[in-house]
Structure 1
Amino acid sequence: LGMAVLVGCRSFWQSFRVQSAHRQSACRLAAAFFSRRYVLSNRVVLCPRLNGHGAVTRYYSSDSKDDLRVRYLDGEDSGIVVVGINRPKAKNAISKNLVKMMFEAVEDIKKNKKVRSVILCSLVPGIFCAGADLKERAKMHQSEVGPFVSKARALITELGSLPVPTIAAIDGAALGGGLEMALACDIRISSNTAKMGLVETKLAIIPGAGGTQRLPRVIGVSLAKELIFAARVVDGTQAQQMGLVSHSVEQNDSGDAAYLRALELSREINPQGPIAIRMAKLAINQGIEVSVVSGGVIPTKDRLEGLAAFKEKRQPQYKGE
């Protein structure tokens, strides 16, 4: 079970490998909504920055400090946090450093009361997350494996426990631990061309980071068993039909269609009462049973502001208090 998080199915990538030409055109593919800086052969290339909220800087670099880029949006999008995985040479595979950086990001988000929603996405065109970094795994001493697997599993649990809505924007392949990471989010949005699957049984192991529990809860027991038993990979359209993703959007020339739809959804969530959203998530996740009276009356300043705004026929200005 511990090995399951270390999935990176090589046979799948022989069929669905991102072509070098696609990687070389990454700047063109994402320039439609990202301001990006490429570090190639020690040379920095700037792509044009477009106007508008929600722009996120993409960094392509072999430096491990760039494995994860976290952007707290501002202006009208204040409250939205974009967490972008950025390991282009490793197909965003889950490494020790990525786990460490994601833990730090999650902890920062948990402490920040101004955060209202989180978008988990990829900064690498055509990839969400390919599972674990098997090349790194092969170099680990046996004594390192257990602690790493436990920490990776704990990370996905912590991601699922964030108090604010989380949205996985799947614009590319999400396999093994990569899909388990997306399953830990509240909502999944994919492009129609994205590939998803818990392919662990191809390696004679099983999903070990919550996939065997979360997938049945999302799509039903029987169908989850079918996908896991067969190590089946589905595209975004099929994933929506079975309820694995909430929305499947047609991929655009920039390769960011799922991210853009996720940003739209975050903008729908942002104006709502922050405490009410957190409480609703907690109630749904833990199955809290409360009476209509106790569940509907929340003694907060935001509640009073909501009532006043309704009476005065204006938009409420919630402060999360």
Structure 2
Amino acid sequence: MNYKNIVIKEKDGVATITIDRPEALNALNKETLIELSSAIDKLENNKKIKVVILTGNGDKAFIAGADIKQMKGLTPLEAKEFSEIGHNLIFKIEKSRLPFIAAVNGYALGGGCEVMMACDIIIAADNALIGQPEINLGISPGFGGTQRLPRLVGKTKAKEMLLTGNNISAEDAKNIGLVNKVVESN
């Protein structure tokens, strides 16, 4: 499969998947979700690959969430399908034989935060901004964030983030156990 929205590089047993939509802050549209899912399937079957790094192109965003421009035009049935595709992607990351490392640069919001939380290790640049701001659009997290976030940070902090839609810095995310390590952005 030729990819339009992601780039995959393999070297010494490490696969790096880069979401390559910097003009859209690497927002997840349906095509990107399908490409990511396909790429994970291929990497799962490649016995040379031992670990996957997932990141976003540019320094502004890891994944700034779902592509709101695309979502605005979805019927309820299409929105349900979009959410199911996202759920399936998250499930693949969580259940993969391969460890996934999220290299978070810039925004990790909404669906981007949910993808990040599915990874085994999360390394955030000091410029990262992390959160589940969907409530500000009148919707709830679509890829299982309401379940994952409390498991990672506890019920009290998760409720605060989910109900207010407030985002947190990389350092605050580290302090509550949402990321493993904060590094200097380049």
- Per the normalisation by structure 2, the TM-score is 0.93
Q: Secondary structure at the match of 2:103?
A: strand
Give the Å deviation of 1:124: 2.2
1:92 aligns with 2:26: yes
CA distance in 1 between partners of 2:178 and 2:97 (Å) = 22
> Where does the alignment leave 5 or more consecutive residues of structure 1 unmatched?
1-63, 253-321
Instruction: Tell me the residue number matched to 1:79.
Output: 13
TM-superposed CA distance for 1:143, in Å, is: 4.1
Structure with the greater alpha carbon radius of gyration: 1
C-alpha deviations, 1:263-296, integer Å up to 9, x for none? Answer: xxxxxxxxxxxxxxxxxxxxxxxxxxxxxxxxxx
Distance of 2:102 and 2:111 partners within structure 1:
13
Computed over aligned residues only, the root mean square deviation of the Cα atoms, in angstroms, reads 1.5
Q: Secondary structure at the match of 2:156?
A: helix
Distance 1:79 1:224, change over 3 A: same
2:89 is the alignment partner of 1:155: yes
> Cα offset for 1:231?
1.0
Query: What SS class does the counterpart of residue 66 from structure 1 fall into?
Result: coil
Task: Name the counterpart of 1:207.
Answer: 141
Distance 1:87 1:210, change over 3 A: same
1:144 is aligned to 78
* CA distance in structure 2 between the partners assigned to 1:141 and 1:180 by the alignment: 23
| Cα distance change, pair 108–153 in 1 and its aligned pair in 2 (3 A) | same
**Any conservation in 2 of the 1:191–1:250 contact (CA below 8 Å)?**
yes
The residue type equivalent to 1:216 in the other structure is P
For each residue in 1:56-104, what CA deviation from the matched residue of structure 2 results, as whole angstroms up to 9, or x when unmatched? xxxxxxxx9431001111xxxx111100000022111111110111011
Q: Which consecutive segments of 4 or more residues in structure 1 shift more than 3 A? A: 139-143
Provide the rounded CA distance (Å) in 2 between the counterparts of 1:222 and 1:68: 36
Counterpart of 2:5 in structure 1 is 67
Equivalent position amino acid for 1:236 in 2: A
For residues 53 and 140 of structure 2, the distance between their equivalents in structure 1, rounded to whole angstroms, comes to 27
Q: How many residues align?
A: 185
- Per the normalisation by structure 1, the TM-score is 0.55
How many Å separate the matches in 1 of 2:183 and 2:168? 15
Shift of 1:233: 0.5
Residues 215-269 of structure 1, C-alpha deviations (whole Å, 9 max, x = no match): 11111121111111121111111111111111011222xxxxxxxxxxxxxxxxx
Q: Give 1:160 shift.
A: 1.3
How far residue 133 of structure 1 moved from its aligned partner, in angstroms, is 0.8
**How far 1:157 moved relative to its partner?**
1.3
8 A contact 1:68–1:85 mirrored in 2: yes
| 3-state SS of paired residue (2:65) | coil
Cα drift, residue 204 of structure 1:
2.1
| Structure 2, unpaired ranges of 5+ | none
In 2, distance between residues paired with 1:224 and 1:241? 13
What is the match of residue 174 of structure 2? 240
| Per-residue deviation, 1:138 | 2.5
Picking from 125, 131, 141, the partner of 1:191 is 125
CA distance in 1, matches of 2:63, 2:162: 18
The yes-or-no answer on 1:167 pairing with 2:101 is yes
Q: How far, CA to CA, are the matches of 1:239 and 1:177 in structure 2?
A: 16
Q: Do the aligned residues in 2 keep the contact of 1:85 with 1:124 (CA within 8 Å)?
A: no
